[in-house]
A and B are shown apart, each in its own frame.
Chain A
Amino acid sequence: MYAAINSSTLHGVFGAPITVEVHIGHGLPGFAVVGQPDEACRESRDRVRAALLCSGVEWPNRRITVNLAGPAEKRGGSTADLAIAVGVLVANGDVPAEAVDGTAFFGELGLDGSLRPSAGAAPLAFSASGSRVVVPAASIHEAMLGAGRRAVPAASLREVIAVLKGEEQWSSAAQHPGPEDARAVLDLADVRGQHQAKFALEVAAAGQHHALMIGPPGVGKSMLAKRLPGILPALNEEAAFEVSMVRSAAGLPTPVAPGRVPPFRAPHHTSSTVSVVGGGSPVRPGEVSLAHHGVLFLDEMGEFAPTLLDALRQPLEEGTIRIARARSSVELPARFLLVGASNPCPCANEQVTGCGCTPQMRRRYLRRFSGPLLDRFDVRMWLTRPRTEAVLSAVPEEPSATVAARVASARDTAMRRQGCPNSLIAPSAIDEVAPLDAPARAVLEAGLRRGDLTARGYHRVRRVARTIADLRGDASVGEEHVRAALGLRRELGDR
C-alpha cells in the first residue's frame, strides 16, 4: 500500500536526491501529488497515468497520494515521472518492493510509456542515491559521466516493469552510442601577423588574466579569441567533470569522453541577461556557467546591455554566480576567462588618421564600459589591420601547440609557487611571490606618481608582470617585465 522510491531533481547545475512516496488507499478514486511540486511536476499525474495504461498496467482505481520528500526548494521538473510510476506499481503490488531496493529512477515519461532524455542526466545520476540508477536510454552516456557503471539505461516504462518483475535483464549501455566531442581545435597559425595580440593572448592564457581587444572590424579579433581554448592549459579530470556537469544541466549534447579542451562560449550581443548569467524557472545555467573553466567571449562588447555587463562583475570576482529567487537561491559555477572585443570608435575606420570621429566621440564610445568592469581587463590589446608585408611575410607563424606548451609551463610554475593562477594572487601575497627589483619598482612608482596607475592597477600590473616573467622563464620580476605589463594595460581612448 506504500512505496518509497529514490529519485533526484535538478537544482541549477547540481542534482538533489529526493524520495518519492506513494500511498494507495481506500477512498474516492483520485490521484494527487503533494509536497509543493511545481507546474511540470503536477502535470506528471497525467503523463504517469497514460504511460502506465499504455504499458499494459491496469490503473488502480483507488485513492493515490504521491509525496515528494526532499529539500523544500528543490522539488520540480518532470524527471520524477519514472519514480512516481514505479512507486504506483510497487504500492499496488504489481512489482515486488525488494526489486527497487537501492535503485534510483529518474526520467520523463511520454504518454506511450517511452522514456525521454532529460536535461541534466549527469548531475541527476551523480546525486542519486543507491547502487543502481535507472535513466532514460538516450541519456545513458551523460548519466555515466556522473554515476559511472551505476547507471543503467531503460528505453521505456514497459522495459522497466519487465526487469523489475524479473522477466528481463537491464540492457547494456554499449547499445546506445553517445555523441563524440566534435569541436575542432583551431590553430593560432591560421592568423597571419598580429604578433602583439598573440603575445597578449598568451599572457592572458598563462595567467588567467581577462583580456580586451580593441580594433576595427575584420582584423581578426574573433579569429584570435576562438583560438584561445587551444592555447589554454588542458582541463584536468575534475575540471572536465565540472564542465560536463554544466553542459548536461543546460541540456546541451555532452560528449562521451569529457573533452580536455576548455569550453568557448560567445553569446551574441542581443542575448538577454538571464541567458548569459543564468536563471529562469527552474534555474538553468547561463553562458557564464557554460564557460566555466573556459573562455567567455563578448564580441562587440559595447553593444551588450550595460546591465548585463555589470551583472558579470560578481562571477568575475567570485568565480560563481548566485541566482536568488523568492523561494530559493542557486549558486552556479562561473570561473571563466573573459575576453571582450570592441571597435575603437563608432565609425570603426581603419586608421587614426583616416577616422572621422572626434576625440569626444571616441571617448564617449569607449565610455560605454563601466569603469569597474574595464578595470578587470588586465590585458588590453590594440589590433590594427595588418599591412600586406606582414600578411605575406615568409616567416612561419607559431602553431598553437608551441604556444600552449609555453603557457602550460608558465601556469605550472605559478601553480607550484602559489597554488593559483597569477590573476588570483592576493594583494597580501604579491610581495612574496612577485618581488620587484629596484628598477622595476622605480618604473611602477613613476607611474603611480604621474597618476597613470591607480592603486588597484598597481597590483594588477604586478600580477601580469609575474605572468610575463613566468612565460619567459625568469625567476624574478624585472624592469622589462613591468614595462611589458604596463604596455598591456594602456588606458582606452586616452589622448
Chain B
Amino acid sequence: MKHAAALAALPLQTHARLRRLVLCGDPEVTWRRIMAGERVVAGIDERVWRAWRSSEGLEDTMGERCAESGIGVTWMGGPGYPAVLLRDPNRPAVLFHRGDTGAFAHPRVGIVGTRAASRAGSAFARRLGHDLALNGVSVVSGLARGIDIAAHRGVLAAVGNSVGAPVGVVAGGIDVVYPAEHAREWEEVCSRGVVVSEAPPGTPPETHRFPLRNRILAALCDVLVVVESRARGGSMITVREAATRGVTVMAVPGSPSSPVSDGTNALLRDGCAPVTDVEDVLVALSLQSAGLPAGGPLRSVDTRRRPDADEQILLAAFSGLPRTCEELVLATGRSRFDTGVALGRLEADGWVSHDNGWWEALLA
C-alpha cells in the first residue's frame, strides 16, 4: 500500500509515467527495483531516474502520512480498486480514499455546477442531494463552493435508514481541505461516505488538477446532473468527460436571462434531459422511488414543515422576487415584529433565505 502511495508521490511524476510503473506489477516490487537502480520501464530519461532513486524513505513517509489521516490507497489491479473505474479508459493509476468505499456499490448520481451559484440554484442542488440520498442514491460531487457543496449539504441533512452515502472527489490531497471553510462538510462526507483523490496526501489543489479530478468524477457517476453552469467552466469539462464515457447527462433548466444558467440551457438545447425534481433523475436511473415514506406522494420528500395560513400569505407576497422585510410588511399589512419572527421561522425551515437584507422565497 505505502509503496503505491510513494510511487504516486515521486518527484517529477506524471500520469503517463505513474501508469506505466503501476502496470509493471506489484508496486512494492517495482519500488525496490527502482531504488536498486533498475530502469523498470523504457523511455524515461536519466534525470528522472536520478530524482526517483534519491527518494529513498519516501515510502515510509507516505505510509505514515496516510495512516495519520486515515487515508487508504489502492491501485489499478490492486485490492479494493473501485470496480466502476476498472473499465475506464483514463482511470487513475493510484487512488487515495478516506471513508467507506462501499458507497460505490449504490447507484451514483453526480451533481455539479458553478461555484458562483445563485441561491435558487444552491437551494435546488441541496434539495436534489437530499432527496436522492433519501432514495438510497450516492451523490457524487467535488466539495467545491456553490452547487457542489450545496448538494452534499443536502445529503448530509438527510436522515434515515437507507440513506445514500456521499462521495466527494477532490483535486488535491485528501488531507488538504480546500476551500478551507468546507472543513466540516469534508469531515462529514469522510465519515458518512467517502472522499477520493488521485493526488497523494499533502498535494496542494493546483489549478491543473481540477480538470483531472472532473474526469474521475464523471467516471464514477451513473447519471450526471448539472444544476447551474456558465457556458464554459469546470462543470462543462465534467460534462464532456461524462459524454465520452456514455454517462447520462441531465441539466436543470434556468432563466434565459441568468448567466449562471447559460451552460445548462445550452445542454438542454443540445438534447439533455431536463431535471425539475428528484423523480426525473430516478427515472433515468431506472429506480423506483423506494426510499420514500410509505404511500406518500413523491413531493412528500419535501420534508419541510408546511407553512401555516399566515406564512403562506407571506410567501405569496414575494411573488417570485427578492424582497426586503419592509416591502413584506407593506404587502401583508402585518407588524414588522411579526413579519420578522415569521421570516425567522420560515428561514429555519428552509422556506426563505436571507442575504444582505434581501429575502428570497425558496418554493422549489
Contact = CB atoms under 8 A, between A and B. Distances in A.
B311 to A, nearest CB: 13
B122 A495 contact: yes
A193 B327 CA distance: 10
10 interchain residue pairs of minimum CB distance: A382-B357, A483-B344, A384-B357, A483-B341, A480-B341, A487-B344, A384-B324, A344-B356, A196-B325, A195-B336
A491 to B, nearest CB: 10
B356 A390 contact: no
Nearest to B327: A387
Interface in B339-364: 340-341, 343-345, 348, 354-358
B330 A358 contact: no
Given A193-B326, A486-B344, A487-B343, A352 B354 contact: no
A194 B329 CA distance: 11
A214 interface: yes
A484 B337 CA distance: 7
Contacts of A490: 354
B319 to A, nearest CB: 14
27 contacts: A196-B324, A196-B336, A199-B336, A199-B340, A214-B357, A344-B357, A351-B322, A351-B358, A352-B322, A352-B355, A352-B356, A352-B358, A359-B116, A359-B145, A383-B357, A384-B324, A387-B327, A389-B330, A390-B330, A443-B348, A451-B184, A483-B341, A483-B348, A484-B337, A484-B340, A486-B344, A490-B354
A102 interface: no
B357 A353 contact: no
A374 to B, nearest CB: 15
Interface string B105-118: 00000000000100
Given A359-B116, A384-B358, A484-B337, 20 more contacts: A194-B326, A195-B329, A199-B336, A199-B340, A352-B358, A358-B116, A360-B145, A382-B356, A384-B324, A390-B326, A472-B337, A480-B338, A480-B341, A483-B340, A483-B341, A483-B345, A484-B340, A487-B343, A487-B344, A495-B355
A77 B243 CA distance: 83
A250 B15 CA distance: 71
A484 B344 contact: yes
Contacts of B358: 351-352, 382, 384
A245 to B, nearest CB: 40
Contacts, number: 77
Nearest to B336: A195
Interface string B144-172: 01100000000000000000000000000
Contacts of B338: 480
A446 interface: yes
A378 to B, nearest CB: 16
Nearest to A193: B326
A203 to B, nearest CB: 11
Nearest to A393: B330
Contacts of B345: 483
Contacts of B322: 351-353
A120 interface: no
Contact of A196 (B145, B146, B340, B356): B340
Nearest to B357: A382
A267 to B, nearest CB: 26
Given A484-B341, A495-B119, A195 B326 contact: yes
Interface in A422-468: 443, 446-447, 451
Given A195-B329, A393-B330, A214 B343 contact: no
B337 A199 contact: yes
Interface string B303-342: 0000000000000000000101111011000001110110
Nearest to A472: B337
Nearest to A198: B336
Contacts of B355: 352, 495
Contacts of A351: 322, 358
Max count, chain A CB within 10 A of own CB: residue among B324, B330, B343: B324
A352 B118 CA distance: 10
Contacts of B336: 195-196, 199
B340 A487 contact: yes
A252 B184 CA distance: 53
